[in-house]
Chain A
Amino acid sequence: MISYKKRLYWTLQITGWLTYALLQVVFYSLSNENEIPLRRSVFFIVEGLICLGVTHLFRYYVNQWKWLNLGVPNMMLRVLPGIFMLGFVIYFLRVPVSIVLNVVNVQRLEFDPNQIIIGSLFYVFLLFVWSLFYFTYHYIERYNKSLKYEASMIEIELNNLKNQLNPHFIFNALNSIRALVDENPGKSKQAINQLSNILRNSLTFEKKGLTKFDDEMKIVNDYLGLESIRFEERLKTEINIHPDSNNFLVPPFMIQTLVENGIKHGISKLTEGGIIQVKTLADKNRLKIQIRNSGHLINGAKRGKSVGMGIKNTKHRLKLLYGDEASFQIVNENNNFVLTEIIIPRTK
């Protein structure tokens, strides 16, 4: 399959140079009314083909040397000498053709210095127009692409915000706390503190910043505390933290989001409830965070949009922050447990 852009390029190249050749024929026949020899026409077409070949070669090197990535001034500094040189190349490529086809001037002016310069400059002008089209097209396309990229970044940010302040969680927590006020005033006060801690942290959260592992775990513990009120005996938690974990910085709310995913898509779907486990392993350079939850991961279309979105966002954040140094995976560990694992490198 030829891509749309390739097809556009070839269409423009062929029609462009063919038009050029035809115009030459027409103008020649207008100025020399008495003769339009076939040889002359063939010569113009061959000339067009030479131009096509040379510009195609030029495009090849423009791509090879990535001139399109340069700023406009730097690009000009390379393109202008380039087209001057190629102007002469076309001129000398065309000389043998004209000799072979016997359409040379009577005076044999092909090698006259003035003729060489004027002839070549004409081709330089053609190449200049060609470059103008070619580079303008690509600069406009790039500009559009960067706009699209910006728009998609904004969308991701918005999704992050939406995911972070999960309204379902907040209103359910408030509902349980209200019932708890009568039943256990002390516990309800503690729950209000936990919820306000989560809300405060989510308000000061900066999307590109990192936070201390211990601070993130405080949020996770508050979150689990609130969900335990809601789910009561249906939610069991196990936390198993490697002592060196706090030497690492982690993206804020990332562990919390994954724990929340585990509860939302795992435990809350089970009538009998289940276990959520947070475990870390740390060595000198890397921190491995494992989140296990009861449940079963369903792949494909049945796995609603929200979980796909949460995972996509987490992967995207890791990529933005650490490039290829971090890893993320979510798998069915066995029939009863889903394992989510992230590995984060040490940041200096």
Chain B
Amino acid sequence: MRALIVDDERLARKELMKLLEDHSVIEVVGEAMNAEEAIQLTNELNPDLLFLDIQMPGKTGFQLLEELDSVPVVVFTTAYDEFALKAFEVNALDYLLKPIQAERLAETVAKITAKERSKAIAAQNPDKKLGLNDQVFVKDGDRCWFVSLTNVRMFESDGNYIKVYFDTNRPMIHKSLNALDEKLDERAFFRASRKHIINLSWVEGIEQWFNGGLMVKLKGGDKVEVSRRQAAKFKDMMSL
């Protein structure tokens, strides 16, 4: 796995590099000392894994994640940040406390590689678009999630924001639906109307609607109208 280390302290980066020497599965492909650098390097190197400090000058680790389109596996490294870590849903979180203990790092590496192996079986997108296997980082107020796109039923535009529907949550992200649409894999996601993008694997039923449009029912009960303009395209995609 190719990893990027993000920490503003040189010695902290050096120490982590040294600890990672014992783990040949992890190859450190770059180091960044602030969020700007990290965003640039992530887009350039496309790492599988981020070791990420939360408190950094300029942007914090969270702000960094919010700016990434697709988020690699993230391991937070922090000296003491109980508040920041509490923001997370339990399942989403891997973190290491500094000074990092070798045993604890070994556990984390084992956990990540196991997860990665199961993920690697699913085919990767060649064109680097966001598919069902990718995850995104979502922060809404005090709460944070790493959401796998498989679990996202739909995106709904709301002013300058997008509501992300998954499980029982609907956090908002500050993006435009058009920009998001361009990044999503069109085989997995469909632009139903000006307001909605739906996850095709969640579609449960389709009904005829007024003016030649369609009404799509998603698993879980949400209903989304497909505009007339998109209806033909949708029928095309959903039929054999």
- Give the interface residue-count category, chain B: 20 to 34
Q: Is the CB of A175 within 8 A of B34?
A: no
Q: Is the CB of A183 within 8 A of B57?
A: no
Q: Is the CB of B58 within 8 A of A271?
A: yes
Closest CB in chain B relative to A84 CB, distance in Å: 64
Q: Is the CB of B58 within 8 A of A232?
A: no
Q: A178 is contacted by which of B8, B15, B36 (Cβ under 8 Å)?
A: B15
Known: A269-B57, A271-B58. A167 touches B12 (CB 8 A): no
B9 at the A/B interface (Cβ < 8 Å)? Answer: yes
Complex-state Cα separation, A245 to B138, whole angstroms: 53
Q: B79 is contacted by which of A167, A271, A273 (Cβ under 8 Å)?
A: A167
Complex-state Cα separation, A178 to B99, whole angstroms: 8
Q: A271 is contacted by which of B34, B80, B99 (Cβ under 8 Å)?
A: B34
Complex-state Cα separation, A180 to B12, whole angstroms: 10
B235 at the A/B interface (Cβ < 8 Å)? Answer: no
Write the B1-35 contact mask toward A (1 if CB under 8 angstroms, else 0): 00000001111101100100000000000000010
Q: Tell me the residues in window 229-287 of chain A with beta carbons closer than 8 Å to chain B beta carbons.
A: 229-232, 234, 268-271, 273
Closest CB in chain B relative to A191 CB, distance in Å: 11
Closest CB in chain A relative to B122 CB, distance in Å: 37
B230 at the A/B interface (Cβ < 8 Å)? Answer: no
Q: Is the CB of A168 within 8 A of B11?
A: no
Known: A269-B57, A271-B34. A172 touches B79 (CB 8 A): yes
Write the A172-187 contact mask toward B (1 if CB under 8 angstroms, else 0): 1011101110110000
Closest CB in chain B relative to A187 CB, distance in Å: 11
Q: Is the CB of A168 within 8 A of B57?
A: no
- Give the interface residue-count category, chain A: 20 to 34
B81 at the A/B interface (Cβ < 8 Å)? Answer: yes
Closest CB in chain B relative to A293 CB, distance in Å: 13
Closest CB in chain A relative to B102 CB, distance in Å: 11
Closest CB in chain B relative to A162 CB, distance in Å: 12
Closest CB in chain A relative to B53 CB, distance in Å: 10
Q: Is the CB of A176 within 8 A of B18?
A: no
Q: Which residues of B contact A234 (CB under 8 A)?
A: 8, 57
Complex-state Cα separation, A51 to B103, whole angstroms: 82
Known: A172-B98, A271-B34. A179 touches B79 (CB 8 A): no
B201 at the A/B interface (Cβ < 8 Å)? Answer: no
Complex-state Cα separation, A167 to B79, whole angstroms: 8
Q: Which residues of B contact A172 (CB under 8 A)?
A: 9, 12, 79, 98
Q: Tell me the residues in window 100-114 of chain A with beta carbons closer than 8 Å to chain B beta carbons.
A: none
Q: Which residues of A contact B100 (CB under 8 A)?
A: 175
Most buried by B among A168, A171, A269, A271: A271
Q: Is the CB of A175 within 8 A of B11?
A: yes
Closest CB in chain B relative to A42 CB, distance in Å: 67
Q: Which residues of B contact A273 (CB under 8 A)?
A: 57
Q: Which residues of B contact A271 (CB under 8 A)?
A: 34, 36, 57-58
Write the B42-62 contact mask toward A (1 if CB under 8 angstroms, else 0): 000000000000010110000
Closest CB in chain B relative to A76 CB, distance in Å: 54
Write the A7-51 contact mask toward B (1 if CB under 8 angstroms, else 0): 000000000000000000000000000000000000000000000
Closest CB in chain A relative to B39 CB, distance in Å: 13
Q: Is the CB of A180 within 8 A of B55?
A: no
Known: A167-B79, A168-B81, A175-B15. A230 touches B98 (CB 8 A): no
Complex-state Cα separation, A230 to B14, whole angstroms: 12
Most buried by B among A172, A175, A230, A232: A175
B232 at the A/B interface (Cβ < 8 Å)? Answer: no
B97 at the A/B interface (Cβ < 8 Å)? Answer: yes
Q: Which residues of A contact B97 (CB under 8 A)?
A: 171
Closest CB in chain A relative to B93 CB, distance in Å: 18
Closest CB in chain A relative to B20 CB, distance in Å: 13
Closest CB in chain B relative to A324 CB, distance in Å: 36
Q: A176 is contacted by which of B9, B58, B81 (Cβ under 8 Å)?
A: B9
Q: Which residues of A contact B15 (CB under 8 A)?
A: 175, 178-179
Besides A171-B97, A172-B12, A231-B9, 13 more A-B contacts (Cβ < 8 Å) are A168-B55, A172-B98, A175-B9, A175-B15, A175-B98, A179-B18, A182-B18, A229-B11, A232-B11, A269-B57, A270-B57, A271-B34, A271-B58
Residues on A close to B: CB < 8 A?
167-168, 171-172, 174-176, 178-180, 182-183, 229-232, 234, 268-271, 273
* 10 pairs, A vs B, C-beta closer than 8 Å: A174-B99, A175-B11, A176-B12, A179-B18, A183-B14, A268-B55, A271-B36, A271-B57, A271-B58, A273-B57
- Would you list the 5 A-B pairs with minimal beta carbon distance, nearest first? A171-B79, A179-B11, A179-B15, A175-B98, A167-B80
